[in-house]
Chain A
Amino acid sequence: MAWFRKDKTGLAQQEKKNIPEGLWTKCKSCGEVVYGKKMEELLWVCPNCDYHFRITSQRYIELLLDDGKLELFDLNLTSKDPLKFKDSKKYPDRVKAAQLKTGKKEGVTSGIGHVNGIKVSFAIMNFEFIGGSMGSVVGEKIARAIERSIEMELPLIIISCSGGARMQEGILSLMQMAKTSALLAVLAEKKIPYISILTNPTTAGVMASYASLGDVIIAEPKALLGFAGPRVIQQTIGQDLPEGFQSTEFFLEKGFVDKIVNRKDLRSTVTSLLRYMWIN
C-alpha cells in the first residue's frame, strides 16, 4: 500500500501546482468544458462564447503593464469602523476575513506603471475584497491615484469591479462618490486622459461615479453593468428582465460604453488610445 499512497500524493501536489482551478473548467455562461491549462492560455476567456471569467488584479497588472510591473502606492491604508457597524458579523471581522482571503489590506491596488512605455497612474479594484465595495479606503486610494495623475501629469487608468458603495461605512461610503468625482473634474480641466475599464460586475455607487466618467469607457464582454442591481429592478417593476439586460453589449447599444474589448486586446487598445489622447 505504501507505494500507492506515495504516488497519489505526488500526483495531487503536481495538479495543485499547475492547474489551481482544477483540471477542467466549466463556463458559467455557456456550459462549455475547457481544459484548465488551455483556459490559462486563453486568459480565462471562454473559447466558445467569449465569457470573461474573473481574474485576479495581479493578472490584470501582468496583462496591461510593461513587465507586469506596478510601483505600489498607499499600501498601508486600512479601514476603520467609524459606525461601529454590526449585522450578523462585526465590520472589522469582515475586513479581517477579506484581508486573509486576498492577502491584501483593502479593495484597491494602485500605483504607477507603464503601458508600452507610456507612464500611467493606475488603480484596480479587487472584487474578492467584500465584493469590491467602496468604503473610505477604496475612495481614498482612487482619489490619490487621480491626484498622482494631476500632480505628475500622467494619464489615469482605473479597472473597476465592484458591487457599489460599502454599506458598513454608511454615508461615508456614499461620499466617496463625490470625493472621487470632484477630483476627476479637476483632472478633466487639466486635459489629462482618463480611461475607465469596466469588468464584471461594475454597478451602483462605483458605476454612478468614477467608472462612468472616463474620457473613454472600455468594457469586457458580457459583464454586468448598471446602476441598480437586476434583483432590485425585478422586485420594483414586478416583471422578468429582458435577455442580456444590463450587459456590456446592452450598454454599448444604449451609448454608455465606447468599446467592448476582449481581454487579449486590452493592452493594445489602451496603447492606441493613449497615443491619440496623450502622446504627440
Chain B
Amino acid sequence: MGTGPYLEFEKPIAELEKKISDMKDFSIGSDVELSGEIASMQKKLDKLRTEIYDNLTRWEKVQLSRHPKRPYTLDYINAMSTDFIELHGDRYFGDDNAMIGGFGMIDKQKVMFIGQQKGRDTKEKLFRNFGMAHPEGYRKALRLFYMAQKFNVPIVVLIDTPGAFPGIAAEERGQAEAIARNIREMSRIKVPIVVIIIGEGASGGALGVGVGDVVMMLEYAWYSVISPEGCAAILWRNAIHAPEAADALKVTSPDLINLKIVDKVIKEPPSGAQNNLQEAAEYVKEAILGALDELKETPVDILLLDRLQKYRHIGEYDE
C-alpha cells in the first residue's frame, strides 16, 4: 500500500515496499520479466505484515492508535453517516473545538454523535487542542446528551483523547466538576448510549463522555486510567519507561475484554484503520447498528437499571 509515514515497528514493511516499488519501476523501462519475482515479494510482504501486526507489543499498539493517518472522529462520522448536522457551544462559556457533536443518520437510524476531535496538520491540531477538551467541551456534550434524551435519539460517543486538558483555564472553569457531572448524568440519560473508543482513551478525559450501555473499542485503540507516559513519569520517574507502564497498566483491547470493561472489540482492516477508512468505518457502523438494535427494544427503566448494574459491579476485592 505504501501509505507512510511509518512507525518504528513498520520499518521492515517500509523497506520491502520500497524494494517492490523499485522493481516495478525497473520492469516498466526494461525487457526483463519480473512479474513472478514481484508476486513472490508481494506474498512475502503480506506475510511480514501479518507477522508484525499479529505480534504488536502493547506500546506499539499505543503508537498505532496515534498514527498520523489514523481516522479521527469526524472521519468516521462522515464515512458512515449522511446529513450530519454539527451543533456548537455549551450555552454558558463558549464552543470547544476539541469536542464535537451533532445529529447524524446511520442508514435509517437517527443518532446524536459526540466525540473528541483531533487535528491532522499543525494548524488544525492547535485548533482542536490535540483532542483535549476544556470544561466547556464536556458541558457541550452534556447539553447534547440532554437534547438527545428530549427528542428520543440514541447517543453514539466516539472517544479519542490523550486526556482532558490540564491547564489554568480548565481548572478555573471546573474541569473536575464538568467531568464528574457528566459521569453522573450519563448514568441516567433515558436513551441508549453506545460508546466506542476509536483511538486514545485516556482517563477522566475519556470517561467524561464514556458512560454507556455498550462500550466497545477498536482493535488498536487503548483505554486506561492514565497514559503509559504519565504512569511511567510517576512510578518509574521517567517517561521513557512508557512501554513497561503500558504492559503493567494493561491498556489494549484484549486486556479490556479480559478485565470485562469493554463489551466488544471492533476489528480493524489489516495493518490498522489508517490503511482503509471505508472498511474501518463499515465495521464501526455495523457494531453501532448491532448494539442499537438490541438497546432500542429495551424498556427505559430496564435500560437504566442495566446501565447502573454494569458499573455497580466493577472492581475486584476480597471480603
A interface residues with partner B (beta carbon < 8 Å):
74, 76-80, 82-83, 85-88, 135-137, 139-140, 143, 165-167, 169-179, 181-186, 188-189, 203-205, 207-213, 225-229, 232-233, 236-237, 241-242, 245-246, 254-256
Contact = CB atoms under 8 A, between A and B. Distances in A.
Contacts of A225: 176
B174 A254 contact: yes
A189 B225 CA distance: 29
Contact of A237 (B168, B174, B231): B168
Contacts of B181: 212-213
Contacts of A143: 312
Given A226-B176, A233-B171, 6 more contacts: A78-B317, A172-B261, A178-B187, A203-B176, A205-B204, A233-B166
B235 A208 contact: no
Contacts of B308: 182-183, 186
A170 B224 contact: yes
Interface stretch (B14-22, B97-105, B115-123, B248-256): B248-256
17 contacts: A74-B319, A76-B318, A82-B259, A170-B224, A171-B224, A171-B225, A171-B259, A172-B316, A174-B207, A175-B311, A178-B211, A182-B188, A205-B204, A227-B166, A227-B179, A233-B167, A246-B171
Interface in B290-319: 307-308, 311-312, 314-319
Contacts of A86: 248
B315 A176 contact: yes
B145 interface: no
Contacts of A237: 167-168
A135 B318 CA distance: 13
Contacts of B208: 208
Contacts of B316: 80, 82, 136, 169, 172
A171 B223 contact: yes
Contacts of A77: 317-319
Contacts of A135: 315
Contact of A242 (B164, B168, B231): B168
Contacts of A174: 203-204, 207, 224-225
A83 B317 CA distance: 12
B187 A185 contact: yes
A181 B244 CA distance: 31
A212 B256 CA distance: 27
Nearest to A186: B308
Contacts of B266: none
Contacts of A188: 184
Contact of A178 (B173, B183, B203, B317): B183
Given A85-B248, A185-B188, A209 B175 contact: no
A87 B224 CA distance: 16
A245 B171 contact: yes
A228 B168 contact: no
Contact of B250 (A87, A171, A205, A210): A171
A254 B307 CA distance: 33
B261 A171 contact: yes
B249 A210 contact: no
Contacts of A229: 166
Nearest to B230: A232
Contacts of B37: none
Contacts of B249: 83, 85, 167, 170-171
A181 B184 contact: yes
Contacts of A204: 176, 204
B174 A255 contact: yes
B21 to A, nearest CB: 41
B177 interface: yes
Nearest to A246: B171
B75 interface: no
Contact of A208 (B175, B185, B234): B175
Contacts of B79: none
B235 A88 contact: yes
Contacts of B307: 182
Interface string B200-220: 000110011011000000000
B126 interface: no
B204 A183 contact: no
Given A175-B314, A227-B164, A213 B180 contact: yes
Given A170-B225, A233-B168, A87 B236 contact: yes
A167 B315 contact: no
Contacts of A79: 317-318
B234 to A, nearest CB: 7
Contacts of B234: 167
Contacts of B259: 82, 170-172
A146 to B, nearest CB: 10
Contacts of B174: 212, 254-256
Given A137-B317, A171-B259, A183-B312, A227 B176 contact: yes
Interface string B150-181: 00000000000000111110111111110111
Contacts of A246: 171
B168 A245 contact: yes
A255 B177 CA distance: 10
A210 B243 CA distance: 32
